[in-house]
Amino acid sequence: MDSSRDARIRVTGLGLVDFRNYETLNLGLTSRFVVLHGDNGSGKTNLLEAVSLLSPGKGLRRAAYGEIARSGGPAASGGFSVRARLAPLGPDVEPTDVLTLVRPDEGTAQRLVRLDGTLTRSTDELLDLLRVIWLTPAMDGLFTGPAADRRRFLDRMVLTVDPGHGRRTLDYERAMRGRNRLLSDDRLDDRWLAGIERQMAELGLAIALARDDLVARLAGLLDASSASPFPVAALDLQSGYEDLSLEGAAVDLEDRVAERLARRRMVDRAAGRTLEGPHRGDLLVSHRAKAMPAALSSTGEQKALLIGLVLAHARLVEASSGMAPVLLLDEIAAHLDPGRRAALFDILDGFGVQSFLTGTDAALFSALDGRAQMLLVANGAVS
């Protein structure tokens, strides 16, 4: 393997305590391709989930901490830990030890992150070290499911290229809840509402513009991937601001959004929610070659479109951040014919990223012979 294509950041060690079905685990990782194979329910996806917690958020399952902690023993109180060793490319760069720890605190679970023993102020600091992208079977219904799922998928993509996006989204939702509460309680103080609406306008437009920028850049990369073995997706972003164009100076747009919020107070009060904003946006995907909405495509085509999107996103992350992302691909090979499987592995190899792949049958990964670390997962143990 050409060492010059190695990922700039690689997970070289993974340690778990009371995580899902793992009481303890210390795993050395020696390859850019890590294949986890074994029976259903053996704990393969749990390992991917552990790696996904090396990024901000709740991980690929979005599970409550109490669900992640192993049942029985100390974990009955809701505690667990994930420790990883991250090795950057370069002979003079020291590896980083990352510990993400959840421990009960007066009945609530609190997540702490330590980098080389130093407590971080926010999990967002993980983005300075690592960008993680995942694709799971639960995402197979992305194109036919509710818009909220697509917004979450889109915001996760934005976060990996714009680390401030997560904080903006949380602050916007907090402001919107405050406005909704004031309206429902008939607390119609104009100065108070105007202040919240100005904050919502600033944050909401920043969210919408970040999404718009991501989709435009992603579309450009998809245009350049016409020779890919995976179908090219056409993307149509709906901002959530109905007929409002996002063109123009940001200050002018913020004024217009704030004015619209003020005019719609009674309408939103009657509805019990804010009816316009990025929380109402959507990402519409279609099969470009067939000019067909992805929601109407076959299950296999939807999966292939999703893979193509994730691959383009991985390229965008590296181009925008200079960091080769870590990919978590759960049960990815089972839905592909041998030719597409081999093509996918070659594309990942060419990216120079580290990829974690799961499957029930090791034979599905025969095209990776000599390039992958093959690990058998059985009943909370890895060999």
End-to-end Cα spacing for the chain: 24
Residue 54 lies in a domain: yes
- Determine, yes or no, domain membership for 72: yes
Domain assignment present for 243: no
The answer to whether 201 and 254 are in contact (CB under 8 A) is yes
The average pLDDT across 316-330 equals 93
Q: What pLDDT sits at residue 6? A: 45
Angle at 27 between CA 26 and CA 32, to 5 degrees: 155
- Alpha-helical runs (H) found in 32-87: 44-52, 65-68
Distance from C-alpha of 246 to C-alpha of 207, rounded to nearest angstrom:
11
Q: Does residue 77 fall inside a structural domain?
A: yes
Asked if residues 135 and 91 have their Cβ atoms less than 8 Å apart, the reply is no
Indicate the pLDDT class of residue 352, thresholds 50, 70 and 90.
Answer: confident
Q: Is residue 281 part of a domain?
A: no
Site of tokens 């919020």: 261
Strand-pair partners of 10: 87
Would you say the C-alpha torsion 79, 86, 136, 53 has a positive or negative sign?
positive
Give the tokens for residue 14.
């993974």
Rg (CA), the chain: 22
CB atoms within 10 A of CB 301: 18
- Output phi, psi for 275, to 5 deg: -95, -5
Say which residues have a Cβ less than 8 Å from residue 47's Cβ, sequence separation at least 6. 14, 27, 36, 356, 358, 377, 382
Starting at the earlier edge strand, list the strands of the sheet with 233-238: 233-238, 282-287, 292-293
Judge whether 168 lies within some domain.
Answer: no
Residue 319 lies in a domain: no
Q: What's residue 3's pLDDT?
A: 38
Q: Which of 225, 216, 215 is nearest to 304 (CA)?
A: 225
Q: Is residue 75 scored above 50 in pLDDT?
A: no
Residue 102 lies in a domain: yes
What whole-number distance in Å separates Cα of residue 328 and Cα of residue 346? 16
Task: For residue range 129-147, list pLDDT tens digits in order.
Answer: 899 999 999 999 999 999 9
The per-residue pLDDT for range 203-236, each reduced to its tens digit, is 999 999 999 999 999 999 998 877 789 999 999 9
Range 4-35 burial, b when 16+ CB lie within 10 A, else e: eebbbbbbbbbbbbbbbbbeebebebebbbbb
Kindly give the pairing relationship between strand 132-135 and strand 326-329: parallel
Q: What tokens does 370 get?
A: 């000599």
Q: By the 8 A CB rule, do 43 and 379 touch?
A: yes
- CATH number, residue 344: 3.40.50.300
Q: How much is the mean pLDDT over the chain?
A: 91
Tokens read off for 334: 């089972």
Q: Amino acid identity of 197?
A: E
Q: Rounded to a whole number, what is the largest CA-CA distance in the chain?
A: 68
Residue 319 token pair:
């181009």
Give CA–CA dist 311/351, Å, rounded: 9
Mean pLDDT of 252-275: 96
**d(C-alpha 16, C-alpha 100), whole Å:** 10
In the 8-state DSSP scheme, what is residue 248? S
Strand, helix or coil for residue 134: strand
Number of domains into which the chain is organized: 1
Tokens of 102: 């959840």
| pTM, rounded to two decimals | 0.92
Residue 259 has pLDDT above 70, yes or no: yes
Residue 55's domain comprises 1-131+327-383
